[in-house]
Structure 1
Amino acid sequence: MAYFAPYIDATGLHCPTYQDIMEEQIQQARAIYGQDIYLGTDSQDYQYISTFALKMSDTLQAIKLVYDSRGPGTAIGSGLDILVKLNGIKRNGSGYSVATETLSGTPGTVINNGVVQDKQNYYWNLPPSVVIGTAGTVDAQVTCQTAGPIAANAGDIDAIATPTYGWSLATNALAAVQGVNAETDSQLKGRQSISTSQPSRTVLEGTKGAIAAVSGVTRFIVYENPTNDVDTDGLPPHSITAVVEGGSDADIAQAIFLKKGPGCLANGTTVVNITDQFGQIVPIGFYRPSYVDIDVVVNVKQLTGYTSATTSLIKTALVNYLDSLSIGDDLPASSLWGSSLSAMQSLSKPTFSITSLTLAKHGLTQGTADITIGFDEVVRGNSSYLTINVT
């Protein structure tokens, strides 16, 4: 394209490219100094012109980013954070995995600033001060030092990282409650779009928008059964069923109470009693998602360039994909092939080939069939359940 002056029309701000600016500068230089001026890439004049062209291009690109940051659809980063505040929401930060740790040792032993370690070499902080009880044990909540969805199965957090006299054992009887990654721009944009549905034309959209605006909510889905019969998911007639991850029970129930339609049952196993302005108690129910761990076995043939780090990249890619699925999403087996292959920098120069891939819900028989997920379930990635066999 030829150089053009920046302009704004119905489709947005348009700016010339670096190459357009460069060619225009060269033409102007020849018009000033004559057509016989030498402007080869090795000339000082060319280098001087290219430097100015680059600065102009950089400035125009920065202006375009500023222009695009005026709306939530094209804004990024901190600009997006500012805009969504107008809708009463904010970006969800990263969260830390937590677990209940049983500490054993001499009764009365005081553990100050204790740290335990899991089998994946992650460190978990105890409360500032913990005292072992008269029975020789005490339960304490431990928090992972690394933010994000760090998984720890029952019995995984079993090493004492800060030895203390009188403290002999540590273990977790239950799996850790996983943390979350910081909300991405695309996730925040999706939640912002839903949040604007609060004053919408349909009550259901307004309910979804209210739930999306609840602080701490990371994933959710709302089902509606307007019929006179129980639906295929077993949801009662004339009801809405929200499945919500994150946020407090009270805030979620209040959001549903304020937006749901009259005479509509708010269905769910988590029930919060809301007192309306007339003193009447209204039970509001919703579900918390059940997490489904997936066992995956990937058999790969290593090609040129494959290293032990590649195995770790395959696991990471699989975990990230599994954690990205929404509540109620089924798991297609083919998607795990694509996730595994994404660990390669370039498919045109493969470092491995997949000879077979099987999957199953944790503890069940491996197979190649897609996995069906319930309406109140969500798939969870756990690197401990991923096996990469290399030949």
Structure 2
Amino acid sequence: MTTSVPQPSFGPNGFVIPSASQVLTGVTEDINSAFGGNLNPALNTPQGQLASSEAAVVDNVNQTFLFLTQQFDPAYASGRYQDALARIYFLERNPAQPTVVQALCTGLQGVVIPVGSLVVAADGNQYICTEAGTIPASGNITLTFECSVPGPISCPEGTLNQIYRSIPGWDSITNPADGVLGNNVESRSAFEARRAASVALNSIGSLPSVLGAVLAVPNVIDAFVTENSTNSPQTIGGVSVYPNSLYVSVVGGAAQDIGQAIWSKKAPGCAYNGNTSVTVLDTSPGYVPPYPAYTVSFEVPPPLPILFAVNIVNSTLVPANAGTLIQNAIISAFSGGDGGPRAKIGGTLLASRFYAPVAALGSWAQIVSIEIGSVNNASASFTGSISGTTLTVSAVSSGTLAVGQTISDVTGNLIVGTTITALGTGTGGTGTYTISASQTVGSESMQSAIANLFEIAVRINQVPTVSANNIVVTLI
């Protein structure tokens, strides 16, 4: 028995299969030979239909075996096969992780806010405090809260505003910036990145080993690790790092667990950087209480709100809720919900990353452009106050204000997505401007920015965040 259908082969490039057209040609030749030759090979003939059906069966089997062989490569494995490969490293896929919010707690000096304290956002979701803190003389302290419901639940600036379980002396809470979106069940790409990092987890002292240990801490969403091995301060990723020191930036997870993970992989005596410090005890065999204590510092990065300007072609096919659909698609992709990489600390954010999730909404989503922006590329930095829909600018330290710019602050007093809609007495500098949302804000430092870039470099002390209010969809 012979056949003209090309056979799959194993070689240096792995399992290689013939193309569907090659299979069809071979099957057609076999059928023609079986019937003595001179058959019409047209696909609309009985013999042509028989050939195309048989070729489809053969190609489907080939594709099945090709898929199977690819699943033994960690770079391509998915689902059950990826879980099996990871089990070799004693890893399991992370479940959904909660949204993390840095919240400003205000009250009397000396009041302790313990781990487990509950607060409520405007959408009704409860958030749990993950690190204890004592309100200092300033009357406020910033603590980390995690949503009680896992997944990429949005918590826009200023919406975490209600104390659920009262503590005497703790007066109020707010989030000055958007929360960092959580994850759904760990995606294929994220799981593979963590598996690769876990290989270094067995080592001591190297940056990959520190990163692997930190990423292994429960509920850690993202982390970045670097070091300055010189005897003078160095600027790395937009941040000044102490001489001979380790820099760890991390979002999510319990502070004590993160500190323990860092210390376990970097020998005592190392200098640290960051805005958060914990005390780690060395309980190694041979030591008895009081155990040697070490202070480990790391950075809990503030959010960097990302602005989006999406322009699509207007037509009768565009649904009435197109804006909401596009906003949801971008928010999902931002957290890696589409299977791609999530926006990360110290990474480069590309506008092109969001073309595919928007285009996947349907043929109506004909993209003209997607642009991004942030205060890393601020249009203006200024001092201003707001009464109603009037912004009064008293001083401008840099740049020029203009219609269409989104304004923001670091206090959380501004409504997210507030834009300049018209000029008043101001024409780029001091004076008055009309804004999109009525509010009252005292005089403070503000910045304005516009989404007019195709890529943004996120500093290593920033975690990119996104809010529907900062995603502007325009039909043109």
The one of 435, 448, 453 equivalent to 1:365 is 448
Q: Distance in 1 between matches of 2:30 and 2:91?
A: 51
Deviations 1:60-87 (A, max 9, x none): 2111211111121121122112211222
| Structure 2 partner of 1:204 | 207
Deviations 1:95-133 (A, max 9, x none): 344889xxxxxxxxxxxxxxx995xxx664799xxxxxx
Query: Which deviates further from its counterpart, 246-255 or 70-79?
Result: 246-255
| Structure 1 partner of 2:155 | 151
8 Å contact 2:304–2:374 — kept in the other structure? no
The one of 263, 274, 297 equivalent to 1:257 is 263
Alignment of 1:1-391 (within 5 A): 3-97=5-99, 124=125, 147-155=151-159, 173-174=174-175, 178-199=181-202, 203-232=206-235, 233-268=239-274, 269-277=276-284, 278=287, 279-296=291-308, 302=314, 305-320=317-332, 322-323=334-335, 324-329=342-347, 335-336=350-351, 339=354, 343-344=358-359, 351=366, 353=368, 359-360=374-375, 363=408, 364-367=447-450, 368=452, 373-390=458-475
Q: Distance in 2 between matches of 1:282 and 1:262?
A: 8
After superposition, the Cα gap between the structure-2 partners of 1:274 and 1:61, relative to the gap in structure 1 and judged at 3 Å, is farther
8 Å contact 2:310–2:369 — kept in the other structure? yes
Q: Distance in 2 between matches of 1:330 and 1:185?
A: 21
Deviations 1:265-293 (A, max 9, x none): 24332324132413322222222222122
The TM-score, its normalising length taken from structure 2, stands at 0.61
Alpha-carbon shift at residue 262 of structure 1 (Å):
4.9
Q: Distance in 2 between matches of 1:275 and 1:356?
A: 49
Alpha-carbon shift at residue 4 of structure 1 (Å):
2.6
After superposition, the Cα gap between the structure-2 partners of 1:297 and 1:242, relative to the gap in structure 1 and judged at 3 Å, is same
8 Å contact 1:92–1:218 — kept in the other structure? no
Could you tell me which runs of 5 or more consecutive residues in structure 2 were left unpaired when the two chains were aligned: 104-119, 129-144, 163-171, 336-341, 377-406, 409-446
Q: Distance in 2 between matches of 1:14 and 1:356?
A: 40
Counterpart residue type for residue 57 of structure 1: D
Could you say what secondary structure the match of 2:91 adopts? coil
Could you say what secondary structure the match of 1:46 adopts? helix
Alpha-carbon shift at residue 382 of structure 1 (Å):
0.7
Alpha-carbon shift at residue 312 of structure 1 (Å):
2.9
Counterpart residue type for residue 343 of structure 2: L
Could you say what secondary structure the match of 2:15 adopts? strand
Alpha-carbon shift at residue 251 of structure 1 (Å):
3.3
After superposition, the Cα gap between the structure-2 partners of 1:59 and 1:82, relative to the gap in structure 1 and judged at 3 Å, is same
Could you say what secondary structure the match of 1:302 adopts? coil
Counterpart residue type for residue 464 of structure 2: V
Alpha-carbon shift at residue 18 of structure 1 (Å):
2.5
After superposition, the Cα gap between the structure-2 partners of 1:71 and 1:231, relative to the gap in structure 1 and judged at 3 Å, is same
Query: Which deviates further from its counterpart, 17-26 or 253-262?
Result: 253-262
8 Å contact 1:270–1:288 — kept in the other structure? no
Counterpart residue type for residue 264 of structure 2: L
Q: Distance in 1 between matches of 2:19 and 2:186?
A: 32
RMSD: 4.0
Q: Distance in 2 between matches of 1:260 and 1:238?
A: 12
8 Å contact 1:40–1:46 — kept in the other structure? yes
The TM-score, its normalising length taken from structure 1, stands at 0.72
Q: Distance in 1 between matches of 2:82 and 2:151?
A: 22
- Identity over aligned residues, as a percent? 21
8 Å contact 1:266–1:284 — kept in the other structure? yes
Alpha-carbon shift at residue 296 of structure 1 (Å):
4.5
Deviations 1:297-323 (A, max 9, x none): 567773564443432344345435655
After superposition, the Cα gap between the structure-2 partners of 1:63 and 1:339, relative to the gap in structure 1 and judged at 3 Å, is closer
Deviations 1:364-388 (A, max 9, x none): 2134577664422111011123333
Q: Distance in 1 between matches of 2:320 and 2:44?
A: 45
Could you tell me which runs of 5 or more consecutive residues in structure 1 were left unpaired when the two chains were aligned: 101-115, 128-140, 159-170
After superposition, the Cα gap between the structure-2 partners of 1:197 and 1:45, relative to the gap in structure 1 and judged at 3 Å, is same
Deviations 1:195-219 (A, max 9, x none): 2123459722322233233343331
User: 1 or 2, which has the higher helix percentage?
Assistant: 1
Q: Distance in 1 between matches of 2:100 and 2:250?
A: 19
8 Å contact 1:197–1:206 — kept in the other structure? yes
Could you say what secondary structure the match of 2:77 adopts? coil
Alpha-carbon shift at residue 34 of structure 1 (Å):
0.9
Query: Which has the bigger relative contact order, CA under 8 A and spacing at least 6?
Result: 2
Q: Distance in 2 between matches of 1:301 and 1:29?
A: 50
| Structure 2 partner of 1:134 | none
Counterpart residue type for residue 273 of structure 1: V
